[in-house]
Amino acid sequence: MSRLPLVFFGHGSPMVALEKSTLTRCWAGIAARIGKPRAILCISAHWLTDGTAVTAMPEPRTIHDFGAFPQALFDVRYPAPGDPDLALRVRELLSPMPVALDHGWGLDHGTWSVLVHAYPEADVPVVQLGMDLSKDPAAHWEVGRRLRPLRDEGVLIMGTGNIVHNLPAMDWNNPAAPPYDWADRFNAAMISAIAEDRPQVVIDFEALGEAAHLSVPTPDHFWPLLYVLGARHDREKAEFEADFIHHKSLGMASVLIGAS
């Protein structure tokens, strides 16, 4: 079995699940290049946990973890199966770190709003990995590194979040407005570090000072990128899609690593 690539999807509003756009076609195109994996291990910005956890149910529910959206969005279901055996394999790879086998979460919108476009048939088993709130960026990267063997076992490691994610600063009325200078500088620095395979720069993102503080006011949407970079092998090529900043402070870049 050949080694699967890695992917980080820059996701936006959950409303993207109902859209057909350049962005959603980009996601479908990335999935087409990757091909159909045996299973997907997704690290979503929207599942933060006390300790590390992994979904272990055979039929994960579609979680509508938001409010004030049209009913059509609440009606969306992504009925992909789970993979309890993959959950056990994740726990094995991360041992002796404790990993809880979770039967209550499911697939949150950070996962399914992307997958409805990337793998619309919902026929690939999906497992989510929770991000331990107590870990620092280096520790999140290390978890990704320990999950590398999954790539040779038919499992797609996928992160969803945003390199730049400052909701209070967004200009909701002008999606195509030029980005803030700080957002542009931080995004460019991270894209450059990823392209040049300098993960320590990404791990130490806070060293960029005010630009980092404004671009990543909370780490939840940034951390999934660290898992993807941790699972990267040396000198694997990174490619970037939809590298633009939406509403002035929402970075939409997707990163595909190790594709042929």
Q: What is the pLDDT of residues 101-148, one digit of tens each?
A: 999 999 999 999 999 999 999 999 999 999 999 999 999 999 999 999
- Of 13-17, 153-157, 204-208, 220-224, the one with minimum mean pLDDT is 13-17
Distance between CA atoms of residues 63 and 98, nearest Å? 25
- Helix then strand count (H, E) for the chain reads 9, 12
Q: Would you place residue 12 in the very low, low, confident or very high pLDDT band (cuts 50, 70, 90)? A: confident
Distance CA 92, CA 204 (A): 28
pLDDT of residue 212 exceeding 90, the answer is yes
Q: How many residues does the chain have?
A: 260
Confidence category of residue 31, pLDDT binned at 50, 70, 90:
very high
pLDDT cut 70: percent of the chain above it: 100
3-state secondary structure of 27: helix
* Confidence check: pLDDT of 67 > 90: no
67 or 62, greater pLDDT: 62
Q: Which residues pair with 226 in a beta bridge?
A: none
Q: What stretches of 119-180 show up as alpha helix (H) in DSSP?
A: 137-146
Local confidence band at 260 (pLDDT 50, 70, 90 cut-offs) = confident
Mean pLDDT of the chain: 97
Q: Calculate mean pLDDT across residues 72-94.
A: 98
What is the average pLDDT across 197-222? 98
206 burial (CB, 10 Å; 0-12 / 13-18 / 19+) is: exposed
Confidence of residue 97 (pLDDT cuts 50, 70, 90): very high
pLDDT of residue 41: 99
Give dist(CA 196, CA 193) in Å, integer.
Answer: 5
What mean pLDDT do residues 6-30 have? 95
1 has a pLDDT exceeding 70: no
Instruction: Name the residue type at position 154.
Output: G
User: Residue 230: pLDDT above 80?
Assistant: yes
Q: Any alpha helices (H) in 129-222, and if so which ranges?
A: 137-146, 181-195, 199-203, 210-215
Both ends of the chain: CA-CA distance in Å? 14
